[in-house]
Structures are given as C-alpha cells and as structure tokens.
C-alpha cells in the first residue's frame, strides 16, 4: 500500500516545475505590469508637470489673420499661415463642437486621453479592409501632436503622443482641451483654428458658422490638402456630408436637421487673385506696422486698388513690353490713392517690384524738374532760348537730330526735348536748384548735381516719378501715394486714412505752365503715341543705348507712369519712351479714364514753332567721359532706330524749317496736306479762332489724324 501511494504522487512531483515556472512567469508579468504602470504614471505626471499653463498655450499662436480688400470690397489676398480670433469654449458654436467630436472622436467625453476601444475598433476595421483606412487618435492625441510633436508615423512618436495625451487629460478639463483643439488645429490654406478657417473659406468669423459650414470645416482635419474648399470645393462638400451623417448617428442632430443643412448650398468665399496684384499688396501691407499696433486680432485691410484697372494695367504692360524685357506701371489718383500697380511681367517668376524698388535713370522725363525750376524762376513757355552748341564744365550735350534750331520757345524745346536748352536752363537756375526741385516733388533717391543731371543721369524709382507728375497735375499741391484706406479688427475700425492737401509745392500758375508744356509734348512732340482722345499731359524718357524707356502722364485726374527695360540694364533695340511705354500708357489710360468726365487743362494747346526731330540725349567729356543718350524718337515698325541724316555734332546753327505744303491749281493749300499751324490746332481742338468767337465742340480722336506714334509730315 505504501508503495502504491508513492507511485501515485510521482506525477504531481513531476508537474511541479512547470507550475513553478508558470507561477514565476505570472509573477514576472504582474511585476512588469506594475512596473510599466508605475513608469507610465510617473512619465505622465512628469509630462504633466512640464506642460505649459492653459493661458500660455492660448497665447502661443505666432501669426495674425489678415484679409486684404480691393476698393470694391472684393478680397485680394488672405495672408497666412495665420490664427484667427481666439474663441473661448462658450463662444464656439455648438454645431462646430458637435461636428468635430462626431467625426474625429465620438468617445471624446468618455476616454482618458487614449481610447483602447477605439484602438481595437481601428485594428479590426483595418484588418478587414486589408489596409489602413481608420485611425485611432483621439482629439487629445491630435492636440498633443499639433502642439508638441510632428506628423511622422513612427512608434516612438505615437508613444510620446500617448503620454502627452494622458498628461493633457490630467491637467486640463475636456472643455479646455476641445477649446485648444478648435483654436489650434490646421484646417488647410494656411488657416489655423476655426476662426481663421471660417474667415478664409466663408468670409466671416467662426461665431456665425451654420451647421453646413461647421461640417465643411470639421471635415478638413482628416486631409486639409485634399478637402480644402480652395483646392477642391466638390470634395469639401462631399466630406461635409459624411460629417453630417456622423452627427445624426451620434445623436447630435436629427434627421430633419441634417436634411435642412444643405451642405451642397454652402457659399464659399471666392479665391483671392494672385499674380500682379501681389506687387501691390507686398508694397502696401508693410505700412501696417506704422499705421496700427494691433498684432493679435484678425484684421480686415481695405485698400485703394481698383481690380479692373489692375487687370488693364497687367494687360497693357504684357502687350507692349519688348521680348526679354520687364515692365512696370503705377497709376495714382489725384488724392494719392494707388489704383493699379504692376511690378513686373509675372509675379510668380519674380517678386521683385520694379515699380517701387528698382532704381533706374529716367532720361528726358527728368526734364520735368528742370523746367519747373525755370518756370518758378520766372521763365514762361513763350520765352525764347538759343538752341546752339553749348559746353558746361567740359560737357557738351547734343540733340537727337544732331542739328540746332536757333532761337526757339521753351514750349518747342520741351516738346521736342532739345538737350541744349535743358542744359542752358539748368545752368541758369543752378543744378542744385534742379536737384532741390526733384526732392521737393518726392524723389527719394540721391540726385547728383553734375551738369548732365538735366538729362536724367540720377537713378529714380517709378513710383516717385509718377508722384511728381501727379503733383503737377494736382495744380502744384503735393500728392502722396497711399494704398490703405482703413483697417478693422473684429469689426471695429482702428485706422482710417486722411488725405493731406495742405502742402503746396509750386504756385498754381507754375503748375499750369508746366502742364502747358506737357500737353504739347503729347499732342505734337515725342509723346504722340500716348494720345487717348481727351486732354493728356505727359513726357517721354529714354536712356543710353535704349536701356530704359519711360512715359509718365496724366488725364482726368489719373496719373500713370510706365517703365520698361531689362533687369541687367542691357540695351533693347528700338526701345524709346515714345514707343512701347507710351503705347502701354495709351492702352491702359484709354480704359482707365473712359468713365470719368473729360477734364480740360487750364491752358489751351499751343503748337510749337517748328516740327523738329524727337529727342536723343548724350553727353561727352566731364564729369566721367561716358556717353548718355536719350532717344525718344520713333523708328520703323521693326523696332530699329529711324535713319537720320548725318551732320556734325558741333557746328554752325542749322534751324529745321518746315517745308511749305503743296498747293492746288488756284494756289491754295491742299486740305490733305494742311500746315500744322495755330489755325489748324484751333480747328482740331475746338478752340475759338483768333478772329472769331464760337462755342468749341468737344474734341475727340487723334488731333493729328494719324496713327499713334507716327510723325507729321515734315
């Protein structure tokens, strides 16, 4: 019996090592769980202690939502990345909170930061589908990732994300976590937070969100680039439908509410225009730093830009700029408001703004300041000056025709840009006086005082030159360009521009006489290609070897400056101020002022004494023994310079005489070859004859009855 009992106990003794091992394994597992739990708890509480405060997290956004409006109220551009207004939990629309919870984390109110049930459900769905179609990140985990981590799909990142999510849940309430999430998560298009997203996609703050709009925004979190309304409006609306279905399934809204939501009828804000309009916004927006001190609230910035004029300006520059060259245009209204600005042929390829940043030689257009100084000193357009060889401090200017016309009026000299006359006037009033006049009219770059400066050898900016011409057109009262009319923050106006009309630069009679000279240039001189069928005053400018072409002028209260050239300052065959730039001016201004009343200048158009060759400026000798030529003449249609009769640069005076017109059999002048005299000018401009008084009819069309850019017969 004793032997039998011994044999029955043997198996029990044989199994005991396995039991011991199993027990040991269970104990080790339990110990590991305890240690892991302790480590997890320790890690969570360490992370909790290192988390910033709720107020610190609220103030952390580094950006500001800025929407820029055109003069007609349309949105030009929305700047980002940006955060909108911070909305506290109770100010966030309930539909926005519910839509977010329904589509991103329907167990948000029940988990501890990480959702084990959600993880198991995600694993099961992904296994069934054979690919990853569902994530398991909670709203708290997403918040941790957005604030502290990145989007790399690595286990280490997911583990840290879980720790931080648990820590966030230990430190903040559910309401605080949802508030942080909705104000910080990225919704695409540079918008962070629901307020920025609402302003960008719907044009209003998040406080006004409808159910359908909230569904669109909530649906963006999954894939902002795919569902962004600005990228794919149809996909955004489709995703919003999924969100609304989830809201019904989770009991947030009824079926009737879902039916009334009508997500397909959501009105999206139009996409802001890009390209050339960005030249304007890049120039205008930095001025905000000087105008306001608001750095947190979202801003609505209202500007002076006219979208129609901007489109026409873009078209005018692109249609006329020579191949391989760049072009710029600025249009300024009489109060200083910038209506159009083109800084180059394509903003996408070059953000360099040639209208406000480039410094180029202005050529003959700089003579504006020479003649202003002379007129202020007491000279008049009818005064006579000798067009003959002149040398000043070793510098000897010449005219384009290489001829000299003898004694001519200042009107004639300006209309045909005679360089010798400009040199004599500069010497008479003083080159420093001319430089001071340029600075008085807004030239901000350095102006040299060498004798050759009268021909435009100092670098200037297009916007400064346009400002100067605008001030002349404003009867001598300073015009200061501006682009921002008012700024609002949360609907409250914090800035409004006030126009200063108190600064008088020259007496009104001086401005009127200068306008007299400028309109003669357009009607009969070097700027004939700029005629638009109504009074225009302007001036051309061309620099050495046709490196730069300028035309600046005004009509009906709008002043426009055009520049063309290469960024590397290489010559451009056939480029003159009176060709491509004048034609761009004509194309733009004919549309820009079409709906404005015709405004006649205070002085009537007066014909120059003789038909002279257009201008070409050069200098030789001191100060630097280099050549400077301003050629504002017209060449053949192929862009090559017009052939000129060769004559000595210096020599006896050789006046240019206009030949007598052909006569008919009775000895009377033939009507098809009329002399361009004062009677002719009175006839085409509607001015009363000298021997009769009559009511002038409105002038329309081209006063010379010739295509723009063509010379009258000589």
- Measured distance CA(342)–CA(402) in Å, rounded: 36
Residue 604: band (very low, low, confident or very high) from pLDDT cuts 50, 70, 90: low
Q: Which residue matches tokens 């306001």?
A: 292
Residue 48: band (very low, low, confident or very high) from pLDDT cuts 50, 70, 90: confident
Q: Which range (34-48, 233-247, 390-404) has the least confidence?
A: 34-48
Model confidence at 657: pLDDT above 80: no
**What pLDDT was estimated at residue 552?**
98
Q: Please compute, for residue 627, the number of CA atoms within 13 A of its CA located in the half-sphere on the CB side.
A: 9
**What pLDDT was estimated at residue 175?**
93
- Measured distance CA(433)–CA(16) in Å, rounded: 114
Model confidence at 519: pLDDT above 50: yes
Residue 488's DSSP bridge partners are 300, 493
Residue 566: band (very low, low, confident or very high) from pLDDT cuts 50, 70, 90: very high
Q: Rounded to two decimals, what is the model's pTM?
A: 0.65
Per the model's pLDDT, the better-predicted residue between 24 and 200 turns out to be: 200
Instruction: Tell me if residue 401 is catalytic.
Output: no
Tokens representing residue 160 in the block? 């840290």
**What pLDDT was estimated at residue 105?**
86
**What pLDDT was estimated at residue 216?**
92
Residue 596: band (very low, low, confident or very high) from pLDDT cuts 50, 70, 90: very high
Per the model's pLDDT, the better-predicted residue between 665 and 318 turns out to be: 318
**What pLDDT was estimated at residue 153?**
52
Model confidence at 1: pLDDT above 80: no
Alpha carbon 357 to chain centroid, angstroms: 13
Per the model's pLDDT, the better-predicted residue between 149 and 564 turns out to be: 564
**Which H, E and C letters describe 441-482, residue by residue?**
CCCCCCCCCCHHHHHCCCCECHHHHHHHHHHHHCCCECCCCE
Per the model's pLDDT, the better-predicted residue between 705 and 383 turns out to be: 383
User: What integer best gives the mean pLDDT of the chain?
Assistant: 80
Residue 653: band (very low, low, confident or very high) from pLDDT cuts 50, 70, 90: very low
Instruction: Tell me if residue 104 is catalytic.
Output: yes
**What pLDDT was estimated at residue 482?**
97
Model confidence at 375: pLDDT above 60: yes
Model confidence at 435: pLDDT above 50: yes
For the residues 663-678, what does the mean pLDDT come to? 43
**What pLDDT was estimated at residue 456?**
95
**What pLDDT was estimated at residue 630?**
43
**What pLDDT was estimated at residue 547?**
96
Per the model's pLDDT, the better-predicted residue between 5 and 336 turns out to be: 336
Residue 316: band (very low, low, confident or very high) from pLDDT cuts 50, 70, 90: very high
Choosing from 85, 98, 104, 613, the catalytic residue is 104
For the residues 333-343, what does the mean pLDDT come to? 97
Neighbours of 413 (CB within 10 A): 31
**What pLDDT was estimated at residue 61?**
56
For the residues 597-619, what does the mean pLDDT come to? 62
**What pLDDT was estimated at residue 628?**
40
For the residues 230-253, what does the mean pLDDT come to? 88
Per the model's pLDDT, the better-predicted residue between 686 and 131 turns out to be: 131
Choosing from 137, 276, 337, 364, the catalytic residue is 364
**What pLDDT was estimated at residue 663?**
40
**Predicted confidence (pLDDT) per residue in 378-432, tens digit:** 999 999 999 999 999 999 998 877 889 899 999 999 998 899 999 999 999 999 9
State the helix-helix crossing angle for 155-171 and 139-148, rounded to 10 degrees. 110
User: What percent of the chain is predicted at pLDDT more than 90?
Assistant: 49
Helices (H), 203-287: 211-218, 224-227, 233-249, 255-261, 277-284
For the residues 520-524, what does the mean pLDDT come to? 92
DSSP class of residue 404 equals -
Model confidence at 531: pLDDT above 80: yes
- Measured distance CA(506)–CA(239) in Å, rounded: 64
**Predicted confidence (pLDDT) per residue in 217-239, tens digit:** 999 888 787 787 877 788 888 89
- Measured distance CA(82)–CA(68) in Å, rounded: 14
Q: Which range (13-22, 60-69, 557-566, 586-595) has the least confidence?
A: 13-22
**What pLDDT was estimated at residue 84?**
78
């Amino acid at each position: 019996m004793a032997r039998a009992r011994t044999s029955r106990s043997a198996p029990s003794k044989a199994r005991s090592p396995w039991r011991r091992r199993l027990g040991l394994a269970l104990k080790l597992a339990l110990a590991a769980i305890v240690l892991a739990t302790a480590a997890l708890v320790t890690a969570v509480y360490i992370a909790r202690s290192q988390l910033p405060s709720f107020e610190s997290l609220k103030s952390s956004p580094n950006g500001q939502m800025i929407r820029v409006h055109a003069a007609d109220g349309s949105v030009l551009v929305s700047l980002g990345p940006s955060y909108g207004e911070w909305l506290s939990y109770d100010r966030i629309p309930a539909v926005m909170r519910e839509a977010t919870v329904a589509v991103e984390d329907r167990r948000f109110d029940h988990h501890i930061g990480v959702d084990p049930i959600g993880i198991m459900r995600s694993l099961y769905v992904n296994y069934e589908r054979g690919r990853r179609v569902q994530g398991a990140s909670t709203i708290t985990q997403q918040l941790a990732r957005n604030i502290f981590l990145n989007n790399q799909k690595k286990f280490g990142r997911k583990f840290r994300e879980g720790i931080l999510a648990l820590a966030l849940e230990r430190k903040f309430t559910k309401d605080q976590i949802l508030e942080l999430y909705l104000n910080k998560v990225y919704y695409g298009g540079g918008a962070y937070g629901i307020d920025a997203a609402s302003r960008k996609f719907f044009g209003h703050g998040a406080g006004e969100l409808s159910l359908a709009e909230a569904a669109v925004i909530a649906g963006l979190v999954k894939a902002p680039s795919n569902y962004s309304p600005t990228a794919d409006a149809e996909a955004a609306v489709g995703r919003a439908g999924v969100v609304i279905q989830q809201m019904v399934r989770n009991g947030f809204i009824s079926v009737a509410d879902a039916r009334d939501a009508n997500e397909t009828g959501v009105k999206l804000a139009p996409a802001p225009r890009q390209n050339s309009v960005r030249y304007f916004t890049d120039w205008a927006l930095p001025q905000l730093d000087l105008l306001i001190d608001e750095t947190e609230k979202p801003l609505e910035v209202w500007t002076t830009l006219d979208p129609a004029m901007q489109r026409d300006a873009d078209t005018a520059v692109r249609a006329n700029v020579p191949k391989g060259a760049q072009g710029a245009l600025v249009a300024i209204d009489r109060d200083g408001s910038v209506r159009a600005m083109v800084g180059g042929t394509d903003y996408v390829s070059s953000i360099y703004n040639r209208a406000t940043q480039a410094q180029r030689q202005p050529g003959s257009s700089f003579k504006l300041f020479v003649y202003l100084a002379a007129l202020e000193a007491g000279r008049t357009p009818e005064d006579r000056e000798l067009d003959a060889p002149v040398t000043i401090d070793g510098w000897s200017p010449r005219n384009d025709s290489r001829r000299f016309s003898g004694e001519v009026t200042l009107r004639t000299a300006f209309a045909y840009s005679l360089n010798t006359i400009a040199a004599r006037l500069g010497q008479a009033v003083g080159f420093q006086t001319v430089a001071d006049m340029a600075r008085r009219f807004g030239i901000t770059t350095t102006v040299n005082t060498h004798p050759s400066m009268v021909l435009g050898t100092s670098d200037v900016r297009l916007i400064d030159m346009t400002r100067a011409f605008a001030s002349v057109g404003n009867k001598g009262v300073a015009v200061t360009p501006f682009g921002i009319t008012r700024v609002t923050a949360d609907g409250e106006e914090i800035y409004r521009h006030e126009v200063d009309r108190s600064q008088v630069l020259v007496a009104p009679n001086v401005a009127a006489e200068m306008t007299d000279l400028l309109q003669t240039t357009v009607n009969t001189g070097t700027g004939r290609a700029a005629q638009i069928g109504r009074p225009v005053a302007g001036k051309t400018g061309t620099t050495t070897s046709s490196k730069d072409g300028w035309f600046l002028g005004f009509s009906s209260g709008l002043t426009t400056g055009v520049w063309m050239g290469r960024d590397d300052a290489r010559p451009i065959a056939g480029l003159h101020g009176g060709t491509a730039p004048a034609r761009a001016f004509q194309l733009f201004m004919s549309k820009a002022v079409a709906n404005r009343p015709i405004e006649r200048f205070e002085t009537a158009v007066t014909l120059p004494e003789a038909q002279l060759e257009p201008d070409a400026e050069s200098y030789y000798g001191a100060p630097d023994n280099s050549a400077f030529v301003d050629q504002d003449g017209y060449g053949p249609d192929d862009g090559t310079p017009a052939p000129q009769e060769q004559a000595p640069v210096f020599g006896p005076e050789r006046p240019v005489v206009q030949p007598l017109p052909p006569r008919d059999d009775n000895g009377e002048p033939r009507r098809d070859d009329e002399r361009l005299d004062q009677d002719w000018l009175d006839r085409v401009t509607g001015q009363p004859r000298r021997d009769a008084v009559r009511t002038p009819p409105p002038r329309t069309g081209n006063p010379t009855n010739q295509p723009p850019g063509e010379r009258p017969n000589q």
